[in-house]
Structure 1
Amino acid sequence: MKKVRIKRYKKGKLLLLFIVLLLIIFQMITAFHHTFEPQLQAIAKQHTGFAINNIVKEVLSDMEYKSEDLLRVERNSANQITSVEYDSAKLNALLYSALNTIDESLLAAQDGKKDPTTKEVFYEDGILYEVPIGYFTKTYLFYDKGPKVKIRMKMLNDVTGEIKTEAKPYGINNTMIKISLVIHVDAQVITFLSVSEYKTKMELPIVIQVVNGDIPEITPYALTNN
């Protein structure tokens, strides 16, 4: 009987010790989450933004188009500007191509695969950045020490965008005409403790032209005759 009681006592003691250890681990994770997770999320969102911006710019830099084919400036016999027309067909085709290409590149980056446009792997295994645990101590000795927290991203929806056109005074008797692609990206920022949503918008100029004189009429998205 004594042996049975001793065995039961030992089992009960081990079970109690196991429960205490679980509670301690849970408390440590909870404390880390409340103390360091806001910092981790800030770092994660920052590097996710860097990654998305770099990929979008890298992809668009490889796109081929002629800026002079996207707009036409009309002048009268006195060399005064009468109108500016934007070729909506070419602009929309360029936007559609850009959105598809960016979407494919971001999906490849999140999975750590080779980019279909540049043929490069932007992020091995889809890891955007790694933060050492010691970073959160704010102590120089431990700044780059300890296990590293991996930061990843996941695309939520297809990349969307629109064409933005504007004309504004530039210097003396000059007008600056600018056509830009506005790209919207919705993604998830993923760490081992949490998942949060990240939205970003990028405005990327594709045409910047300075013309002499005021523009009396601006016709965005007007089809031109070639």
Structure 2
Amino acid sequence: MRKIKIKRLKKLRLLLILLIAIASIYLGAQYVYHYVEPQLQAVAKQKVSFAINNIVKEVLADMEYRQEDLIEVKHVGEQFVDVEYDSYELNQILYTALNTIDASLLAAQDGKEDPTTEAVFYKEGIVFEIPLGYLSHLFFLHDKGPTIPVRMKIINDVNGEIRIENEAYGVNSTLMKIVLEISVNAEVLTYLSTTPLQVTSELPLVVQIINGKVPEMTPYTITE
């Protein structure tokens, strides 16, 4: 009888340990899902957004064009008459920008050498490594613990448009801007989640004050 009781006690202990282990795993998973994972998503999205913006701006900074080739402001004497846009040149800038940025982002995603700058932006495609202590919001744990790598995956081709904006400036003048806008769709990848992300970057190609009123123009749009 005593041996049977001991065996039963052992079975009960094992069952209790198993139940505690299952409960601990469940509670841990709930903690990760409700607390850690949303924070991880937010930080990862911020880092990938920053990375994409940096790559886009670095690529655009290497583009060569002459502002005076993009528009021609016509006057009769000192009176503004018309403004002409070189739509072919603007479309060429947009086409080149989209292709160059697309190639650079794919190279960064795969941890390869950038075709424009010849630099490797992110070794092995890791944009950032988040220490677990960073998610605690405690200063002394900020850079402690194992790290979670953050990667990005570019979805579809890069989109963009050239937008012409006019606004009143002073009594009888117009502030005219020609802006190159780039839109990138990506996924933020961590061990715990995959999160969609859209990043938009802008580069002013022309900023000019014109004496007189300039008519509104329809934006140029190219999507590869």
Contact persistence 1:84–1:218 (CA under 8 A): no
Task: Provide the residue aligned with 2:6 in structure 1.
Answer: none
Q: Name the SS of the counterpart of 2:83 in structure 1.
A: strand
Q: What does the per-residue CA deviation read over 1:41-99, in whole Å, with 9 as the maximum and x for residues that have no partner?
A: 111111111011110000000011111100010111x3211111111111001100000
- Give the superposed CA RMSD: 2.7
What are the residue-to-residue correspondences of 1:48-59 with 2, within 5 Å?
48-59=48-59
Moved over 6 A (4+): 13-20
**CA 1:110 to 1:15, structure 2 compared with 1: closer, same or farther past 3 Å?**
farther
Q: What does the per-residue CA deviation read over 1:7-60, in whole Å, with 9 as the maximum and x for residues that have no partner?
A: xxx99x989967864663354233212111111111111111101111000000
Is residue 199 from structure 1 mapped to residue 198 from structure 2 by the alignment?
yes
Q: Name the SS of the counterpart of 1:164 in structure 2.
A: strand
Gaps of 5+ in 2: 1-9
Once the two structures are TM-superposed, the CA of residue 168 in structure 1 deviates from its matched residue by 1.8
Contact persistence 1:84–1:215 (CA under 8 A): no
Query: How many residue pairs align between the two structures?
Result: 214
Task: Provide the residue aligned with 1:178 in structure 2.
Answer: 177
Contact persistence 1:83–1:215 (CA under 8 A): no
Contact persistence 1:87–1:221 (CA under 8 A): no
Give the residue type in structure 1 aligned to 2:174.
T
Contact persistence 1:103–1:158 (CA under 8 A): yes
Once the two structures are TM-superposed, the CA of residue 134 in structure 1 deviates from its matched residue by 1.2
Distance in 2, Cα, partners of 1:69 & 1:220: 19
Distance in 1, Cα, partners of 2:18 & 2:66: 69
**CA 1:69 to 1:221, structure 2 compared with 1: closer, same or farther past 3 Å?**
farther
Task: Provide the residue aligned with 1:138 in structure 2.
Answer: 137
Q: Name the SS of the counterpart of 1:29 in structure 2.
A: helix
